[in-house]
Amino acid sequence: MTNPNLDATFSGLHNPTFLRACLRQATDHTPIWLMRQAGRYLPEYVATRAKAGSFMGLATNTDYATEVTLQPLERYPLDAAILFSDILTIPDAMGLGLSFAQGEGPRFASPVRDEAAVAQLAVPDMDKLRYVFDAVSSIRKALTQDGKGRVPLIGFSGSPWTLACYMVEGAGSDDYRLVKSMLYSRPDLMHTMLAINADSVAAYLNAQIDAGAQAVMVFDSWGGVLADGAFQTFSMAYTARVLAQLKRTGPNGETIPRLVFTKGGGLWLQEMAALDCDVLGLDWTVNLGKARALVGGQENGPGKALQGNIDPNVLFAPPAAIATEVARVLDSFGAPYQGTGTGPTHIFNLGHGISQYTPPEHVAALVEAVHRHSRQMRT
């Protein structure tokens, strides 16, 4: 018996490998995409950013955002595209004043550090983020060839906790002193902020789905800085609140996989198995085989697809060494599922975002090695 949702999910794509793996279906190779795959390691990205004048000039211009999203796909046979944007668009739309200085990370002009500032927070008008949704629609159109998409497009957001870290600290942080001070001294304020963030993230991702995103990912980039207990209460619970509100299907009835990545979250992997998502991303500290045994599930039963998790710094090694490490990661996951139902599947990725200093030709070696070795594992 056919599933019309899955027919709609896969039939509109020349290469649905990524989506099949998300939904724990057999594929002829292990799909690969890279976190931050459209970024500063590519000279063409640097040139486009220079034309845009600033990071936000790039992210808020539909044509530029489309151009840089497609750049890595022109170079490499990747199995998915990811929307070019930033995880901090939501707090910017809340009025916190996001900016990016050249050579520095993001900064907020109006950080949230007291009761009065928290009281001002609200789920933003999604029209303020129209530039993101316009970019999603534009990218989908640009990916279309012969009436079908080349590869799926992933939409994303930062997690409620990760957004809160930036909102309170006002920028990136080494010690998370300000946000953790609020968490421990005024947990009521933190819970209020996280609830607003979670509802904002859900509305934001649902709007991306309406605009054409074919999978959505929550980046819990700073979940791993929390203590045991605090992670479950202040990060995972609010990621769960996001997932509970997400649309399960797109405009044409297609199934929309949901991915969650918590950097430093390996300690809580078994608990994260309860999250209502399809894929759990892993950083490079986690053994894929052990993760598969914990959360990968059995044939035709519940389980999570796994995504990851090579150390991004492997890409500074020579191509032969990259190929060796690729084989080690693929082999650590083990024999890929090859049945006709569902079973344990793997999506290859880095354990975190790609470094801006990565040689582009080493990325080519990585993608080639993943496709070659994963096909050999299936013969």
| 362 labeled part of a ligand binding site | no
Opening angle at CA 344, ends 17 and 6, nearest 5: 45
Determine whether 150 is an active site residue: no
Quick one: CA dihedral 291, 294, 299, 300, positive or negative? negative
Contact, 98 vs 88, CB < 8 A?
Answer: yes
| 221 labeled part of a ligand binding site | yes
If residue 178 lies in a helix (H) or strand (E), which one and from where to where?
A: helix 177-185
Pick the closest to residue 85 from 16, 133, 120, 48 (CA basis): 133
**Burial label, 316 (beta-carbon count in 10 A; 0-12, 13-18, 19+):** middle
E-strand stretches of 20-173: 81-82, 98-100, 106-108, 144-145, 148-149, 153-158
| 210 labeled part of a ligand binding site | no
The torsion angles phi and psi of 218, rounded to 5 degrees, stand at -105, 120
Q: Which residue of the set 20, 49, 107, 258 is catalytic?
A: 49
Q: Which residue of the set 41, 45, 166, 337 is catalytic?
A: 166
Determine whether 258 is an active site residue: no
Contact, 252 vs 8, CB < 8 A?
Answer: yes
| 204 labeled part of a ligand binding site | no
Q: Which residues contact 158 (CB under 8 A, 6 or more apart)?
A: 87, 88, 90, 166, 201, 218, 219, 220, 221
| 113 labeled part of a ligand binding site | no
Determine whether 130 is an active site residue: no
Determine whether 199 is an active site residue: no
Distance between CA atoms of residues 68 and 59, nearest Å: 9
Q: Which residue of the set 20, 24, 36, 107 is catalytic?
A: 36
Q: Which residue of the set 86, 92, 220, 283 is catalytic?
A: 86
Pick the closest to residue 234 from 275, 190, 196 (CA basis): 190
| 203 labeled part of a ligand binding site | no
| 50 labeled part of a ligand binding site | no
Distance between CA atoms of residues 79 and 32, nearest Å: 5
Quick one: CA dihedral 63, 166, 247, 256, positive or negative? positive
Q: How far is CA 121 from the centre of its chain?
A: 25
| 40 labeled part of a ligand binding site | yes
| 79 labeled part of a ligand binding site | no
Q: Is the peptide bond before 206 cis (omega within 30 degrees of 0)?
A: no
Q: Which residues of 159-182 are buried (b: 16+ CB within 10 A; e: fewer)?
A: bbbbbbbbbbbbeebeebebbbeb
Quick one: CA dihedral 271, 157, 76, 210, positive or negative? positive
Determine whether 40 is an active site residue: yes
Question: Which residues are part of a known binding site for substrate?
Answer: 36-40, 86, 166, 221, 352
Question: Which residues are part of a known binding site?
Answer: 36-40, 86, 166, 221, 352
Catalytically active residues are: 36, 40, 49, 86, 166
